Structure 1
Amino acid sequence: MTAPSRPAPPAGRSALRLTVVPTPQPPLDPRPALRLVQPGRPVPRPVPHPGPRPRTWTGRPADEFGPVPTGRSELPSAGETGRRLLTTALEALAGRRPLAQVRPLTSAGVYAALSAGRRPVWCAAGHAPVLLGRVRVCEPVDGVAEISAVAYRDGRAHAVAARLEGLDGRWRCTALQIG
């Protein structure tokens, strides 16, 4: 038997040829397991890289501007500060004290939101005093405290919560929610 003949290429074109091009990479090792694991030698392990470590603040660095976070050990009681903040804010919203008294306890954003003029109806209406129940404190991270309480006025209960962050050696309210 003879091999089938190939048809001739069309006029004006040359026949296709297969050319092997060497790859620029070294050939694959067919024995990777033998190369990595040898009898009597331990299996190499990747070096662990620990994540970022929490910072401990001992004071203001000389080259840093703005508020400096403060650790819990250098701050006063979060419960007492939280009670004072919530009482002051609720009394200011009820019109019993000037709103400017809240400014040193809050961040600029919280103070701007309080001074925008929108007050909860239950704070603005009525003449009964605002009473604050037990203040609960949760500290999820060093230098951060989340506080919550129930405010009572005219026989009704309302939820109040705030986030305090330790900045420059004192607690400052960075979020306030009045329900």
Structure 2
Amino acid sequence: MRKLADVEEHFAPQRTSSGNLPDPEPLLTALTRGVLEVLAGVREPEQLARWLTDEPYRSLVTRAGMAVRARSAKRQAVMRPVYAIRSIRHSAPADGVIEAVIIVETTQRTRAVAMRLEGMDSRWRATSLSIL
């Protein structure tokens, strides 16, 4: 008879080696675009949920809610953001882990998006996300 802990471990997210994962740059670019669109109010955060673990997803939902309230208080319309990704730098501190910073230039300012990707269930998922 299997123990409950063995069953739970079987269904928990399974770590994936870097060799079994795709190039992370397309995901870094797409997630950065998606996050900026969520904060601008033109994309729903649920569309990014599959690529984020619980903590960064909750943080993004909270920050998006604050952005909605700020736009409402200023009576600003929702507008698609205009930006350019200036650079993507990433390193692999461990197998199945990528830490990256993406520099994004908008019409008003330059921002940095810091992200940590971990290989889980044969795909990359963001376990940490910060917009500076």
How does the TM-score come out when normalised to structure 1?
Answer: 0.58
Matched residue type, 1:135: I
Is 1:149 aligned to residue 95 of structure 2?
no
Of the three residues 111, 116, 123, the one matched with 1:170 is: 123
Of the three residues 104, 111, 114, the one matched with 1:158 is: 111
Q: Which has the higher contact order (CA 8 A, sep 6+)?
A: 2
Give the SS at the match of 1:88: helix
Give the SS at the match of 1:68: coil
Is 1:108 aligned to residue 54 of structure 2?
yes
5+ unaligned residues in a row in structure 2: which ranges? 1-5, 71-75
The offset of 1:96, in angstroms, is 2.0
5+ unaligned residues in a row in structure 1: which ranges? 1-60
Asked whether the equivalents of residues 149 and 161 of structure 1 are also in contact (C-alpha less than 8 Å), the reply is: yes
Which deviates the most, 139-148 or 150-159? 150-159
Give the SS at the match of 1:115: helix
For the aligned residue pairs, the C-alpha RMSD in angstroms reads 2.3
Count of residues in correspondence between the two structures: 116
Is 1:130 aligned to residue 83 of structure 2?
yes
Matched residue type, 1:133: R
Is 1:90 aligned to residue 43 of structure 2?
no
Identity of aligned residues (%): 32
Asked whether the equivalents of residues 91 and 130 of structure 1 are also in contact (C-alpha less than 8 Å), the reply is: no
